[in-house]
């Protein structure tokens, strides 16, 4: 009888510990599942990258009418920026609508950014989408005042189908020619790195050229114009610009590749 009770006792203990073990295993499985989810979430966060909006200017030209918000953070200049001289937001841009040219003088027709160029000796990046621009004729896409003569124009000295970024003279700012981008549509990045003093060009996210520059110190006394420069001919009739971005830093290749064909901010996972 005692043996019988002993056997039952042993069996009961075995069943009890066996049950605890199973419950423990079950709990461990749940914990493993929870920790796995946490781990995967952490990996996802670590491997995701959010690219922010520019810090000086960012025009999407999507608002309609004769102004455009400056989506840059913190941003500089006018917000919203007035579109002067008949320029409008319309037609089809890279995303939604675009800045539409009217073929007038930059004296009156331009986007009044309200920003005086203040790059100084720092790195910087300027990028924009362009389209519907003929491979003949010289017109200006953007620029500041005549003193520093920082401007970007079509064709002309660059040759048919190309655009040029130019400064005061070839000694202080060698010409930066961007080839094969007209009539478009194309996205162009100009990236100046103050450490290496190189100015790199990217077209549709792909590297095109690199030019060794003198150490640049870029400031301006009057407003930076988009869609024009000084008193010269601005955007031609029906010419399109979109996604105009200005940063006071040099974008790296990874950021350019990830953002050239995406509105900002943009997260890559």
Q: 3-class secondary structure for 121-151?
A: CCCEEEEEEEECCCCCCCCEEEECCCCCCCE
pLDDT at 179: 98
Q: Is the pLDDT of residue 190 over 80?
A: yes
Do residue 36 and residue 156 come from a single domain?
no
Structural domain range at position 72: 51-268
Q: Cα–Cα distance between 111 and 6 in angstroms, integer?
A: 95
Q: CA-to-CA distance for 142 and 219, rounded, in angstroms?
A: 15
Q: What is the pTM of this model?
A: 0.83
CB distance 87 to 212 below 8 Å: no
**Residues 141 and 204 grouped into a single domain:** yes
Task: State the DSSP code for 236.
Answer: P
pLDDT score for 41: 47
Per-residue model confidence as pLDDT tens digits over 133-150: 999 999 999 999 776 789
Band of residue 28 on the pLDDT scale cut at 50, 70, 90: low
217 plus 260 within the same structural domain: yes
Confidence of residue 157 (pLDDT cuts 50, 70, 90): confident
Residue 16 binned pLDDT confidence (cut-offs 50, 70, 90): very low
Residue 205 to residue 118: CA distance in whole angstroms: 26
For residue 190, give the CATH number of its domain: 2.60.120.200
Distances (CA, A) of 8 to 11, 20, 157, 250: 5, 18, 101, 78
Residue 2 has pLDDT above 70, yes or no: no
Are 39 and 156 within one domain?
no
| 28 plus 110 within the same structural domain | no
Reduced to 3 states (helix: H, G, I; strand: E, B; else coil), residue 46 is: helix
84 and 127 part of one domain: yes
Q: Please say if the pLDDT value at position 195 is more than 50.
A: yes
* 35 in the same domain as 133: no
For residue 194, the model assigns a pLDDT of 98
What local confidence, expressed as pLDDT, does residue 34 receive?
46
CB 210 within 8 A of CB 250: no
Domain count, the chain: 2
Same domain flag for 260 and 214: yes
Same domain membership, residue 63 and residue 39: no
8 and 101 housed in the same domain? no
Do 159 and 237 belong to one domain? yes
Q: What is the pLDDT of residues 29-72, one digit of tens each?
A: 555 554 445 544 444 445 689 999 999 999 999 988 999 999 99
Alpha carbons 78 and 58: distance in angstroms, whole number: 11
pLDDT at 11 over 80: no
Same domain, 23 and 114: no
Share of the chain above pLDDT 70, in %: 82
Q: What is the pLDDT of residue 73?
A: 98
pLDDT score of 86 = 97
């Amino acid at each position: 009888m005692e043996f019988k009770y002993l056997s039952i006792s042993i069996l009961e203990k075995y069943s009890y510990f066996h049950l605890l073990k199973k419950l423990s295993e079950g709990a461990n499985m749940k914990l493993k599942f929870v920790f796995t989810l946490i781990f995967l979430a952490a990996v996802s966060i670590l491997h995701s990258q959010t690219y922010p909006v520019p810090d000086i200017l960012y025009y999407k030209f999507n608002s309609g009418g004769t102004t455009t918000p400056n989506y840059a953070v913190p941003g500089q200049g006018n917000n919203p920026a007035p579109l002067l001289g008949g320029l409008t937001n319309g037609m089809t841009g890279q995303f939604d609508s675009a800045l539409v040219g009217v073929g007038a003088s930059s004296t009156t027709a331009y986007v009044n950014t309200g920003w005086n160029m203040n790059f100084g000796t720092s790195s910087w990046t300027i990028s924009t989408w362009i389209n519907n621009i003929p491979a003949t004729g010289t017109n200006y896409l953007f620029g500041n005042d005549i003193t520093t003569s920082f401007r970007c124009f079509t064709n002309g000295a660059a040759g048919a189908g190309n655009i040029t970024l130019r400064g005061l003279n070839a000694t202080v700012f060698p010409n930066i020619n961007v080839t094969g981008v007209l009539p478009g549509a194309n996205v162009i990045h100009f990236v100046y790195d103050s450490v290496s003093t190189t100015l790199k060009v990217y077209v549709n996210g792909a590297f095109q050229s690199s030019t060794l520059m003198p150490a640049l110190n870029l400031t301006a006394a009057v407003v930076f114009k988009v869609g024009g420069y000084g008193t010269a001919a601005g955007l031609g009739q029906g010419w399109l610009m979109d996604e105009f971005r200005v940063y006071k830093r040099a974008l790296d290749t990874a950021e350019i590749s990830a953002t050239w064909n995406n509105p900002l901010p943009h997260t890559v996972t």
